[in-house]
Structure 1
Amino acid sequence: MTQILAHRGEAAYFPENTMLAFKEGLKSGADGIELDVQLTKDGEVVVIHDERLERTTNGTGLVKDHSYSEIQRLDASYKFKDLNQKVGIPLLKEVLHLFQSYPDKLLNIELKNGIIDYKGIEEKVIKLVRLYQLEEQVVISSFNHYSLAECNQINPEIETAILYYENLYKPWDYVEKIGAKSIHPYQLSIRSAILEKCLQRNIPVRPFTINDEVTMKKMFKWNVSSIITDDPKKAIKIRKLEK
């Protein structure tokens, strides 16, 4: 059965990449969570998507130019007027601690180092995953495939997944070449023939970001390994109907 991963938590209804969004995504019945990590000025692994702070917080500037104490003071809920509470930017270790209570859930950690080269982010993330003993629940993905190759050298036991937008030639061969285990293609890049060949080789295929009903039904019919969606509740309802 196709798994449902909550993209940045239940991002359709709650501030993305926050503990609130993650808890709501898990509460909705999602099979796992997808999130993004970057490094602060003082080297802390924080959960946030954009390199800049403006879109998702009341802060300004680049994540990398702020210490964690500065990041900690920001509010990720300021655009959500119905929320009468401050929602902070979490550390990755807070999410890992949460997942220790969900041994059957998958955690997809995307390294946001395609634009900014966060030196040592691979080692820092893997060290935290090992500290919380979540190696078997975690998938590390990135658009930076050099970074994934480095992750595989540091710890080949943790699954890595290649993220990509454009069509890749024989992605099943490419995955093996860099030591990855799975592919996370943009939804418009997935083809039934590619899916079939990958699944034949036991390579999980998890397309992103699947939010509309038509595409959800298509992905469930194709029996992709997982879909990554902002609206896990909607996806769960459709998956039940498609059985």
Structure 2
Amino acid sequence: MRAKKTQAIAHRGYKAIYPENTMLSFKGAVEAGAHAIETDLHLTRDGVVVISHDATLKRCFGVDRKIIDCDWEEIKTLRTLKEPGQPMPTLREVVEYLATSELEAKGVWLLLDIKIDSPADDIMRLTAETISKVHEGTEYWGGRIVLGCWTLKYLPVSERIHHIGYSIPYAQQFLDHQDVGVNMFWPVMQTAAGKAFLEELKDAGRSVFVWNINNDAGMKWAIANEYIDGVCTDDPVKFLKYVTPDNI
């Protein structure tokens, strides 16, 4: 085993136990020992940056409407179908939690998945404004907030990002841009092309995450792989039990 740490990135929080993308799920992940929280951003009709994987409210809240077609005043009254019923958080709530002394001391960081159905300029501007209202300055946040994007269109409006994707040829285009890491669908990285791409990324000094690993074999593979820095998982407790002292 290598001495380099493999970080547990809690996918939508502690999704295996709690309603996904809720403050309860995020706090549960931190209590479980996760190094980071991965979550998803959408915009409401009135420009509030909210936390949701889906563009609609149906799967998690039972309301067949798009988030972009609803105002925050309406959305904040909803509760998750999964018990215990939880409200949808705003990005500001999550960032305020990240800024607490407890999480600052632990070094917990945030991976934000910017959904492709949101206008790039609007969501990036409003995300930056939201973060700066909690605490200004990139020096304060350092590496504690990482933006994840699916397409090249976000590069002109962001400084520190990780490309999220399935396609190695598409992901390779991001190597033309400095300081861009990747967060790749993990089975792709087990192929011959994936192994070669991992070496290419490390030669370029890029950070590498993989998603979304929930089975034992996948977790063991990722922890043993010297090129992988972090793993997105629904179950950080299960993942961390495979992390040996050499990896911590």
Structure-1-length-normalised TM-score: 0.88
* Corresponding residue for residue 225 of structure 1: 229
Q: Which amino acid aligns with 2:26?
A: F
Alpha-carbon contact 1:217-1:242 (below 8 Å) kept: no
Match of 1:123 in 2: 125
Deviations 1:149-178 (CA, angstroms, capped at 9, x unpaired): 1333xxx3xx2011111222672xx22434
| CA 1:186–1:100: 2 relative to 1, 3 Å | same
Aligned-pair identity (%): 26
CA–CA distance in structure 2, aligned partners of residues 136 and 217 of structure 1: 26
Structure 1 residues 45 and 16: alpha-carbon distance in aligned structure 2, compared to 1, 3 A threshold: same
Cα 1:170/1:219, change in 2 over 3 Å: same
Do the aligned partners of 2:179 and 2:206 also contact (CA within 8 Å) in 1? no
Distance in 1 between residues matched to 2:71 and 2:208, nearest whole Å: 36
State the distance in 2 between where 1:207 and 1:170 align. Answer: 13
User: CA–CA distance in 1 between the matches of 2:48 and 2:142?
Assistant: 20
Question: Equivalents in 2 of 1:57, 1:179: separation in Å?
Answer: 39
Contact conserved, 2:37 with 2:110, CA < 8 A, in 1?
A: yes
Deviation at 1:242, TM superposition (A): 7.8
> What is the aligned partner in structure 1 of residue 169 from structure 2?
168
Separation of aligned partners in 2, 1:134 and 1:38: 21
What is the deviation of 1:118?
A: 5.8
Residue type at the aligned position of 2:122 = G
Match of 1:11 among 4, 12, 15: 15
1:123 Cα deviation from its structure 2 partner: 1.0
Describe the shift of the 1:166–1:175 C-alpha distance in structure 2 as closer, same or farther (beyond 3 A).
closer
In structure 1, C-alpha distance between the alignment counterparts of 2:92 and 2:185, rounded to whole Å: 28
Distance in 2 of aligned mates of 1:241 and 1:91: 36
Q: Aligned-pair distance for 1:26? A: 0.6
- Counterparts of 1:85-164 in structure 2 under 5 Å? 86-101=85-100, 102-103=103-104, 104-112=107-115, 114-117=116-119, 120-131=122-133, 132=135, 133-147=140-154, 149-152=155-158, 156=159, 159-164=160-165
TM-fit CA distance, 1:137: 0.6
1:116 shift after superposition = 4.3
Q: Which residue number in structure 2 is paired with residue 22 of structure 1?
A: 26
- Does the CA-based 8 Å contact 1:58-1:74 persist in structure 2? no
TM-score by length of 2: 0.86
| 2: CA distance, partners of 1:136 / 1:90 | 22
Q: Which amino acid in structure 1 is aligned with residue 156 of structure 2?
A: E
> How well do the aligned residues superpose, as a CA RMSD in angstroms?
1.8
Partner of 1:75: 79
TM-aligned CA distance change 1:210 to 1:241, over 3 Å: farther
| Corresponding pairs, count | 229
Q: How far apart, CA to CA, are the structure 2 residues paired with 1:96 and 1:124? A: 13
221-230 or 125-134, larger mean C-alpha shift: 125-134
Cα separation, 1, equivalents of 2:14 and 2:205:
28
The 8 Å contact of residues 162 and 180 in structure 1, kept in 2 or not, is answered as no
Rounded to whole Å, the distance in 1 between the matches of 2:142 and 2:19 is 27
Instruction: Tell me which of the two structures has the higher relative contact order, counting C-alpha pairs closer than 8 angstroms and 6 or more residues apart.
Output: 2
Q: Aligned AA for 2:131?
A: V
Runs of 4+ deviating beyond 4 Å: none
- Residues 161 and 198 (structure 1), Cα distance of their counterparts in 2 relative to 1, 3 Å cut: same
Structure 2: stretches of 5+ with no match in the other structure: none
Shift of residue 8 of structure 1?
0.4
